[in-house]
Structure 1
Amino acid sequence: MTDATSIMDREYEAQFGDYFALLKPRVMTLVVFTAFVGMLVAPVSLHPFVGFCAILFIAVGGGASGALNMWWDADIDAVMRRTAKRPVPSGRVGGDEALGIGLALSGFSVVMLGLSTNWAAAALLAFTIFFYAVVYSMWLKRSTPQNIVIGGAAGAFPPMIGWVAATGSVSLESILMFALIFLWTPPHFWALALFMRSDYDDAGVPMLTVTHGRPSTRRHILAYTVILAAFAIWLGFTSAGGPVYLIAAIGLNAWFVKGAWEIFRRNEEIAETDNYSVEKRFFKFSLLYLFLHFGALLADAVLRTAGVIG
């Protein structure tokens, strides 16, 4: 009869799912979708196989960033409730393994994107990985309450990379798609921080709620949301936008600004009484916000291809 204790003492052998989780698949979904839309709305058509390769290697690069981030942040991830079960802090994947996988996938994705599309897109992907792993994870995240503001650029590059993969250059449309994600990131994460502040306190991460308090965070959420709405609607008047996007952007941003205003008007006593229901609702909607905007861009691109709109 096998000794149960000896089985428990054996070293855990990582499974495929553990390594896949290392790549932050939920984040990768947004990376893939926004990069795909950025490539599709570009005025240059790619061969379907080339387009598939571009999206694949952008996704791999996004996964590489996630692995490097998990390697570096293992210590604080272990302290925070929402990240403690990640592969590295939970011990399912070793830190050295995460680093090796991240570096290998980084090099592979950049080289293959350059070979399959162009080196401008590859260089932008390389910079994105570097920005997320080094500038954000290693520097900004633990040193300044502007970590999310500046660090948000890392998640904003995919649609620009998709556009550059198709066209070989940056344009106003790609910059506005970048701005859409860049300006969305702070209110999205600050809303989360309002009702998850203890996590950041425990981990010593200088989130705005920790360094400046919740009232200041509420003001910042409103300010960024208003600016975000302006840029989101501006995108609708470019060649990348169209009637579907413009209508969607006006409606979505009206709701988003309304939610930010409600958050701004609340005090901590009220928020604690209803368990931060307004903040949680705003955060949940923010998860859909980008998908709906880029989905509307995709719809307009399909309608243009079909000749329904000009």
Structure 2
Amino acid sequence: MSDVSYSQLAQPEASFGDYFALLKPRVMSLVVFTALVGLIAAPVAVHPMVAFAAILFIAVGAGASGALNMWWDADIDQVMRRTQKRPIPAGKVEPGEALAIGLTLSGLSVIMLGLAANLLAGFLLAFTIFFYAVVYSMWLKRLTPQNIVIGGAAGAFPPVIGWVVATGSLSVEAWLMFALIFMWTPPHFWALALFMRSDYDDAGVPMLTVTHGRRATRVHILAYTVLLAVLAVGAAATSIGGPIYLVAALILNGLFLKGAWSIWRRDEAMAEADGFAVEKSFFKLSLLYLFLHFGAILAEAVLRPYGLGGWG
């Protein structure tokens, strides 16, 4: 972390919205949704109050990770256009405040999830926070172009935690949901890196586009998308899948493969000419891709008791 003194910046009084922004609410919303799907897809019913408390504390844990990440990355956030308006580089929140909030919420969320659900769920939440804040943010992000590949595990744990809240144990189905997010993460972020490369260059972050160039990144996006498609469609044959999921997976992965193929075929002159329109479109599709896959898993789980979900 750099020695930039954010206290020297003009500091308007922080609002509730500034502190809430520290928690990365958009990332938190995805964490909450995938954790909820993991919980509902599990074969064990959970009391509504336990489920509510569990999802709440998982959300708090995700927010804690976001605050710790913003504290550590405040120096590079100040350099990157995409992140310059975050609370710390904007001078609205002191780094020390973000650290205190992150540590406090981390401890609170882990302890309360362990008490509300079970110790394994609490342990997995603690590991997820540690992995994102320390392994990814403090170690991998500035060290290796594989940062987002390995670090993607942090974002893949929420459905596993949701499953464990319900069952108290791990299973193949939980790890399938983990793998779906884990394999989705690299093409999602590499697509962003293709049209935001200058940000990573300026910040000195060794994203694949910086260390190996955009051509290699395009190849990697296609390779990971092919593997992801095989995994995603194959999951339809498992207990978390079914006809609804299969239809969704076939359509979504067909579109995703088409997008990755289009990205692979492009050279930099083509991309520059249209302002990276294809890459931006693929990035937007990737957001919809994950939401709809987990939405299909949720639909199968909700309809299964009525004989309408799963393979019967």
% same residue:
74
1:59-78 equivalences in 2 (<5 Å): 59-78=59-78
Distance 1:10 1:276 in 2: 36
Matches within 5 A, 1:1-310: 11-309=11-309, 310=312
Matched residue count = 302
Which secondary structure does the structure 2 equivalent of 1:87 belong to?
coil
Q: Partners in 2 of 1:217 and 1:169 — Cα distance? A: 37
| Paired residues of 2:11 and 2:91 also in contact (CA < 8 A) | no
Residue 90 to residue 304, structure 1, CA distance change in 2 (3 Å): same
Task: Provide the secondary structure at the position in 2 that maps to 1:142.
Answer: coil
SS of 2:145's equivalent in the other structure is coil
SS at 1:91's partner residue? coil
Q: Distance in 1 between matches of 2:275 and 2:205?
A: 23
**Can you list the C-alpha shifts for 1:176-223, whole angstroms capped at 9, x where unaligned?**
100110010100010011111000000000000000000000000000
- The CA deviation at 1:12 is 2.2
Q: Secondary structure at the match of 2:46?
A: coil
Where do 5+ consecutive residues of structure 1 fail to align? 1-8
Partner letter of residue 178 of structure 2?
A: F
Partner residue in 2 for 1:5: none
**Structure 1 pair 305–202 and aligned structure 2 pair: CA distance change class (3 A):** same
Shift in CA distance, 11/189, structure 1 to aligned 2, threshold 3 Å? closer
Q: Supply the distance in 1 between the matched residues of 2:108 and 2:214 (Cα, whole angstroms).
A: 42
Q: CA deviation at 1:11?
A: 4.7
1:301 deviates by 1.1
CA 1:10–1:207: 2 relative to 1, 3 Å: closer
- The answer to whether the Cα contact below 8 Å between 2:195 and 2:276 also exists between their aligned partners in 1 is yes
- Which letter maps to 2:168? G
Between the aligned partners of 1:92 and 1:169, the Cα distance in structure 2 is: 42
Q: Deviations over 1:37-90 (max 9, x none)?
A: 000000001000000001000000000000000000000000000100001111
Q: Deviations over 1:88-125 (max 9, x none)?
A: 11111110000000000000000000000000011000
Shift in Å at residue 234 of structure 1? Answer: 1.8
Q: Which runs of 4+ in 1 moved over 2 A?
A: 9-12, 305-310
Q: Which amino acid aligns with 1:213?
A: G
* In 2, Cα distance between equivalents of 1:206 and 1:177: 28
Measure the CA separation in 1 of the matches of 2:199 and 2:10: 32
Q: What amino acid is the match of 2:283?
A: F
CA distance in 2 between counterparts of 1:205 and 1:76 reads 8
One-letter amino acid of the structure 2 residue matched with residue 148 of structure 1: I
Letter of the 1:56 partner, please give it: L
Amino acid at match of 2:48: P
Deviations 1:130-156 (A, max 9, x none): 000000000000000000000000000
